[in-house]
Every structure is written in C-alpha cells, then in structure tokens.
Amino acid sequence: MARSWRRSRSRAAAALALALLAGTVASAHRRDEYLQASRIAIGPDRVGIELDLTPGISVADRILADIDADRSGSIGDEEAQLYVSRVAGALSVDVDGAPLAVHVTGSAFPAVEAMRNGEGTIRIAMTAPMPALAGGVHRLHYRNTHRQELSAYLANALVPDSDRVAIGSQDRDVEQRDLVVEYRLRGETVFAVSLWPALAAGLALAGLAVVCRRSINLLA
C-alpha cells in the first residue's frame, strides 16, 4: 500500500509539474468545479472528518439533479440523507493499511437558490473509530473520490487536540483526492508511562526498608 502510494505520489508530482508548465492550473476556474474541502482531525482513538461541498455555478445544476431525485425543486430529508450516504461511500480512510468504518454524525444543506448561484455549501461531519494502536509512527490515508470528473479537492490535517498525537508530514496527490498523514502517537498517558518506574522504585525502597529493619533487629 505504502509503496503504491509513493509510486502514485511520484506520478502526481510529475503531473503537477506538467500542468504548471502548461499553465492548466491557472486556467481552471472554480465556477466550473465542485469544491470538496476535507479537514481531518486525528485523535488517539478516532478520526474526525469535516467535509464541505460547494458546487460552482456552472456545475450546480448537475449536483442538484443528483440530490433532488424527485425534481421537486427542493431538497427533502430523505434526499439529503441519500446524498450524504453516497458521498460518505466515496470516502475511504485507513490507518497503516487497515480500513476504518466511516460514520456520518451530522449534515447541513444550504438553500437551493444559494447552490444554484454557486455559493451554497453542503456540510457533512463524520467520524471513524480507530483500532487500538501502539505508540509510534502511523500513517493515515484519506481518499475522496466523489464526483471526480468535475471536482476540486482540498484535504488538510488539523492540528490535533490531543497532545498524544503529533503530525509529522502530509503528502497529497496533485488534485488532493488522496492525503497521507504520517503522525506519531505517544503512549497512553505520561502518568502511565512513568508509573512503572515509580512502582519499581517504591518496591525497591520498601524491600530496602525491610532488609534494614532485619539487620537492625539482628544487631540488637
């Protein structure tokens, strides 16, 4: 997995270089794109994902057609839920190659008119529980393939809330569909780490006290 990612990353870097030379990045315009911005919050026991989806004015009708299945001109609760499920289904998250189950925890849809004007943002919050991980370096791979043919992506790791997690690096493909975050997970807690030496020292002192007491008794 890691090797294939490195390979794809090399290809991506080359593609970006070509794109920059050709000036295609500059010629693209967000009005023609479906902006999908992901922010990834890595914690010791879960990954939080915030995904904001903003269709540009030129593609808004296509996205609305995807959502508004009954063509009523409005977005019903069931239609919203179906769409959110479809988006979540296009995401994948794994840690050290082990896939995580992504659960939707909330979503909000803008007014249809705002979306038609290319300025409405759909917000989806998700979470993925982590398996128990040993302390050390881990790699989280996030991938978003929803509506690849017309989307622009942003994917960023947030500064972790927990001081047990420290982000090392972030690697992406050119389009930011893929994000690999290398991070270091520290042990359970500082207290837990220091508990064993403290216990060992305590036991040693207690043992020493017993030996000393016996020695004193013998001398007496």
Partner 1 sequence: MRNLFLALLALLGLTFGPARHETQQRGTPGAASEATTRIVAAARGVLTSLDDAGRAKVQFAFDDAAQRTRWSNLPTGIFPRQGLRLGDLTAAQRAAVMTLLEAALSANGYRKVNEIMRGDEMLRTTGGRPGGGAPPRGGPPGGGRGGGPTFGTDEYYLAFLGTPSPTTPWMLQFGGHHLAINLTLAGTQASMTPSLPAAQPATYMFEGKEIRPLGRENDTAFALINALDASQRSQAILNSRVADLVLGPGQDGKTIQPEGIRASALSSAQQTMLLDIVREWAGIVNDAFAAPRMAEIRANLTQTYFAWSGPTTNGSAAYFRVQGPTLVIEYAPQGSVDHIHTIYRDPTNDYGAKLASK
Count of CB atoms within 10 A of residue 69's CB?
A: 13
Told to check if 31 binds partner 1 by CB under 8 A, we report yes
Tokens of 171: 């690697």
Select from 64-72, 134-142, 156-164, 198-206 the region that touches partner 1 (CB under 8 A): 156-164
Q: Shortest distance, CB of residue 81 to partner 1, whole angstroms?
A: 23
**The one among 5, 39, 94, 150 contacting partner 1 by CB under 8 A:** 39
**The one among 130, 153, 180, 185 contacting partner 1 by CB under 8 A:** 153
Apex CA 115: angle with CA 110 and CA 116, to 5°?
145
**The one among 146, 173, 180, 185 contacting partner 1 by CB under 8 A:** 173
Query: Residue 162 and residue 79: Cα distance in Å, rounded?
Result: 36
Tracing tokens 């839920």 back to the chain, one arrives at 81
Residue type, 203: L
Residue number, 82 or 154, with CB nearest to partner 1: 154
Tokens of 116: 């038609």
Told to check if 175 binds partner 1 by CB under 8 A, we report yes
Select from 18-26, 66-74, 93-101, 132-140 the region that touches partner 1 (CB under 8 A): 18-26
Residue type, 80: A
Select from 68-76, 90-98, 99-107, 112-120 the region that touches partner 1 (CB under 8 A): 112-120
Residue number, 108 or 200, with CB nearest to partner 1: 108
Strands 122-129 and 46-55, bridge-based pairing = antiparallel
**Hey, is 129 helix, strand or coil?**
strand
Told to check if 7 binds partner 1 by CB under 8 A, we report no
